[in-house]
């Protein structure tokens, strides 16, 4: 977890803005096929407790149920991918690129590397896992 306990962020067009009043988990890079298809590459995401995440502007926020167990939040105007959350869960993953800087976060691990695409190599020295 990062020591900074207040973060803000949002989408490209500003239709979705949020703040997090609490700690964020370090970033996990997910290379699964769903993350690749929704982002165009892999997803780098942090996570916060649902009760620490407050939406400041949400008029363009749309939720898409991407599997039986999870949904993804994105801006329906600019297309920005913002959130991933398990159905009925207590936390929300926040796509790290949507946070305002400085974040004081780092990539802690890569997951689902067995599903990654073939056009890049992971060479940052961070631990890698074939699945979750």
Domains of the chain with bracketed CATH: 6-115 (2.170.150.70)
What is the rounded distance in angstroms from the CA atom of residue 67 to the CA atom of residue 127? 27
What is the rounded distance in angstroms from the CA atom of residue 105 to the CA atom of residue 16? 22
So what's the pLDDT on residue 73? 98
Helix, strand, coil shares, percent, the chain, to 5: 10, 45, 45
pTM over 0.75: yes
Identify which of 72, 88, 9, 61 has the alpha carbon closest to the alpha carbon of residue 35.
72
How do residues 77-89 score in pLDDT, each as one tens digit?
999 999 999 999 9
């Amino acid at each position: 977890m990062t020591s900074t306990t207040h973060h803000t962020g949002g989408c490209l067009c500003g239709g979705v803005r949020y703040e997090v009043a609490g700690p964020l988990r370090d970033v996990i890079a997910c290379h699964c096929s769903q993350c690749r298809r929704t982002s165009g590459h892999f997803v780098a995401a942090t996570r916060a407790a649902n009760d620490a995440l407050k939406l400041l502007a949400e008029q363009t926020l749309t939720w898409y149920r991407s599997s039986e167990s999870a949904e993804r939040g994105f801006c329906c105007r600019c297309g920005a991918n913002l959130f991933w959350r398990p159905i009925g869960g207590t936390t929300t993953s926040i796509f790290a690129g949507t946070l305002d800087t400085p974040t004081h976060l780092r990539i802690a691990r890569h997951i689902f590397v067995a599903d990654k695409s073939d056009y890049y190599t992971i060479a940052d020295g961070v631990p890698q896992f074939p699945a979750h």
